[in-house]
Amino acid sequence: MTLIIGALLLASLPLAAARWLRVAQREHYLPGTVSGFARRWWTVDIRNRALLGLGLAGLAASPWEPWAAVVPIEVAAVGPFGLSMRGSTSPLAWTRRLRTLAAVYSVLTALVVVAGSLTGLPAPTMALVALGAPVLVDAALAVTRPLERRAAGTFVDRARSSLDRVGPERVAITGSFGKTTVKGYLRHLVSGSRSVVASPASFNNTGGLSRTVNEHLTPDTEVFIAEMGAYGPGEIRDLCSWVRPDLAVLCHIGPVHLERFGTLEATVAAKAEIFETARTAVLNVDDPLIRPLVGGLRERGLTVVTCSGGGHEGSEADVVISPATDPAAGGGTERSPIRPGGRSPCRVTVRGEMFESSLPDDAHTDNAALALGAALALGVPPETAVSRLAGIRGAPHRRELSVSPTGVTIIDDTFNSNPTGAAAALSTLASVPARRRVVATPGMVELGDRQGPENVELGRLAATTADTLIIIGRTNRSALLRGSRSGTAEVIVVANRGEAVEWTRNNLEAGDAVLYENDLPDHFP
């Protein structure tokens, strides 16, 4: 009997493990994340709750009836419903790191089964191993993490040596959001006069930054721009220990990854680690959580460049970018309707000196101000930097405007998952000339205890801005539905982004507009 149950376990474990190994890979191999996703999936709907209940009942009965262990073993093989083993938006990739993780997971599983057999409870132990696969994957992540850090050290040492040998000015950019956009803006502003290498896409951790240096830094590189992300305290300090930025930029603070940081104050402290080796700090003083850092950094001897993109009257920031006054609006600052590829005039103030320029309609003025402030700190003449503002381009999939072959205006904000960015994208949708407006969104994640309220507010804003709100998936469905009741939009619920795209293709015509706000890979419910 024990051999048969063991054989069933061996047959089912690869199916169960593949699901949770894929989650581990998508969640950047962080211990604890797999168990968190297991809780989400097993409780997301009545089908999965019933299936989990069946498995737990079998586990509870297995000490008295060993054959009952077959039930949780089979439950682990087929569930939770909806979580694919291979995935479509984020397929399982058998990298060297994942193979190592799978091997350690297998060893831990075997050790638990052996221990259970020695205590005389082989069947319950095998049932527990099957249902507890997410916990064992998290344990394997904890075991392999120091090993992976040691392995990454070789590449970091090589990158450190390359930076020291080439000697570029080093720029580091961080923030809860906006850092990829600021990085792209800054690269454009500086590249007209200096040789620049910037970390591509969202390469913002140890592996991505060391790879950027090792593969892209050349002997003539004059400026190296490193985007730095973090899931908790100490991570940016670790990056700065070998990148050693001369100039550091802090963009925005918000509830992104709040469930990992805990509080916004902890987020600020973790992001402020970026200034520990810098000589110059560039700060977004429109952000009330960043503004208080100015005095302390100056007291430490850093040169501080304050930046504002809010267009506040009487702003005393060193660099201010605001929409140019529109005479047709009676001296106000109303802007023309936003159109794909369009540009609008703006006013730029650099330490009291006024310039006229223009920005793409989809540009964020605060991010543009930060990039301009950093470019000036790098020695780019004000006239040169300001003249290049018209040519900046936003990061892909962040409030990116285009027109489909059928004439539908598309606002692609699928790489955004923060309340400020979502509100800006909805404002863009409202400003786009359109006969009919649609929002398709799964909501925002990793906002800690603010996730529910923020998604309720997103649902409210979307339902008052758009004619149709398409709610994707189940992660934030309840909160978005609650918020949507405050608006007048038609609400449609779909299972995944593919269904949302299909709906828009079948229902929207030339002159309509759709905003795709955030996108969750399919390891989310």
What is the domain-level CATH number for residue 378?
A: 3.40.1190.10
What predicted TM-score, i.e. pTM, was given to this entire model?
0.87
Shared domain check, 372 and 488: no
Closest among 394, 438, 436 to 415, alpha carbons compared: 394
From residue 358, give the alpha-carbon distance in Å to each of 27, 326, 365, 393.
39, 13, 10, 12
User: Looking up tokens 């955004």, which residue turns up?
Assistant: 416
Range of the domain at 124: 2-147
Instruction: Kindly state whether residues 138 and 252 are assigned to the same domain.
Output: no
Q: Contact 97/29 with Cβ under 8 angstroms?
A: yes
Find the distance separating the first CA and the last CA of the chain, reported in whole Å: 37
Shared-domain flag, residues 380 and 405: no
- Locate 525 and state its tokens: 């419910």
Same structural domain, 265 and 120: no
Domain count, the chain: 3
- Residue 386 covered by a domain: yes
Q: Final residue of a domain: which of 391, 426, 445?
A: 391
Number of H helices, E strands in the chain: 19, 15
Q: Is residue 137 part of a domain?
A: yes
96 and 199 share one domain:
no
Residue 39: how many CB atoms within 10 A of its CB?
A: 10
Residues contacting residue 156 through CB under 8 Å, at least 6 positions apart: 206, 210, 242
Beta bridge partner(s), residue 354: 349
Q: Which of 83, 114, 147 is the last residue of a domain?
A: 147
Q: Using a CB cutoff of 8 Å and minimum separation of 24, what contacts does 69-73 make?
A: 69/5, 69/123, 69/124, 69/126, 69/127, 70/5, 70/8, 71/127, 72/127, 72/128, 72/130, 72/131, 73/5, 73/8, 73/9, 73/12, 73/126, 73/127, 73/130
Residue spans of alpha helices (H) in 178-330: 179-191, 206-216, 235-243, 258-261, 264-271, 293-299
> What is the C-alpha separation between 319 and 73, in angstroms, rounded?
62
pLDDT tens, the chain, 525 aa long: 788 888 888 888 888 899 999 999 999 899 999 999 999 999 999 999 999 999 999 999 999 998 999 999 999 999 999 998 887 777 888 999 999 999 999 999 999 999 988 888 888 999 999 999 999 999 999 999 999 988 889 999 999 999 999 999 999 999 999 999 999 999 999 998 999 999 998 788 999 999 999 999 999 999 999 999 988 889 999 999 999 999 999 999 988 777 777 788 999 999 999 999 999 999 999 999 999 999 999 999 999 999 999 755 446 899 999 887 544 433 444 556 777 777 889 999 999 899 999 998 888 899 999 999 999 999 999 999 999 999 998 888 888 889 999 999 999 999 877 898 899 999 999 999 999 999 999 999 988 889 999 999 999 999 999 999 999 999 999 999 999 999 999 999 999 989 999 999 999 999 999 999 999 888 888
Statement to judge: residues 257 and 289 lie in one domain: yes
- Pair (384, 404) in one structural domain: no
Residue where a domain terminates, one of 147, 176, 210: 147
- For residues 196 and 279, state if they share a domain: yes
- Both 254 and 377 in a single domain? yes
523 within some domain: no
Same domain for 142 and 227, yes or no, is no
Whether 522 is covered by a domain: the verdict is: no
Does a structural domain hold residue 379?
yes
Query: What is the rounded distance in angstroms from the CA atom of residue 204 to the CA atom of residue 188?
Result: 19
Backbone angles phi, psi at 85, to 5 degrees: -75, -45
The answer to the question of residue 172 being in a domain is yes
Type and span of the H or E element at 492 = strand 490-494
261 shares its domain with 213: yes
Query: What CATH code is carried by the domain that includes residue 462?
Result: 3.90.190.20
* 224 and 250 fall within a common domain: yes
158 in a domain, yes or no?
A: no
Residue 159 falls within a domain, yes or no? no
